[in-house]
Amino acid sequence: MILKIAAAITLVSTLLSFTAGEILARVSSHRGFHLWFFLFLIFFEALLVLAVFERRSPIFGTIFWKGKAGKNLIALTFDDGPNEPFTSQVIDILKGQKIRATFFIVGQNAERFPGSIRQLFDEGHELGNHTWTHEVLPLKTPAQIRDELTRTSDLIEKSTGSRPTLFRSPHGWRNPWVNRVVRECGMVPVAWTLGVWDTDRPGEEEILRRTLDGARDGCVLLLHDGRGLEEGADSSQLVRALPKIIDELRHRGFEFVTLSEMIGAEPK
């Protein structure tokens, strides 16, 4: 998939570079055409790569990824669930710690575990939209993106009576239409501050170390209770690390909030 996206980026940037280079070449009586073409090719390709793959990039529209410092807030967010038995284990840990978190739901996983969605909602957690298939979005059309979002939001609303107001793209990748479609569907596009690559299963102590090394005031922490559409994905390392993460962050003075609460704490 990355190769397909890269090929598309190269094609678009080449066309844009050729057009810009030709215009400049005509203005300058064809002097330096090849140089202009090469420079614009590099510029547009770099710009498109940044826009597609950099989750925080504002090129395709603004996105919330970090809270303001000074409030000592941190938001726990979990992607790719539900995935049992690990989602329920995460819920139990958060209940014992009296913490509400934000879970970004994959529609097909929710279809497999409808009871988990209701349990998350009943425990007061926030449910966000993470597409229906967890397929990356850069090569999808606006209609396809809308379908991914709508099917997932419809299922969550059917299960809980409440419709998601937050959306996070798989891997944080976007194209020029994602933000617009997300907002038309009544949601806010969000990313994250710190990801610790827990889906690589590096061990609970490494997950803990990466989290504590990177956590800062206003941090949106990305964790996973699932792994894409992988059935039976092993999130046990995250489950074992989570109580230690919470205890240490609390010891450092952090207050845990949902992502919407963090967004609401932003100055208007």
Which DSSP helix (H) or strand (E) runs through 158? helix 142-160
Among residues 259, 127, 149, which one has the least CA distance to residue 193?
Answer: 259
Q: Which amino acid is at 262?
A: M
| Two structure tokens written together for 230 | 């992988």
34 is catalytic: no
79 is catalytic: yes
Q: CA-based Rg of the chain, rounded to a whole angstrom?
A: 21
CA–CA distance, 223 with 216 (Å, rounded to integer)? 15
Residue of 125, 130, 134, 224 with catalytic role: 224
DSSP codes, 167-215: E--GGG---TTHHHHHHHTT-EEB--SEE--GGG---HHHHHHHHHHH-
Residue of 79, 80, 198, 225 with catalytic role: 79
Q: Catalytic positions, please?
A: 79, 224
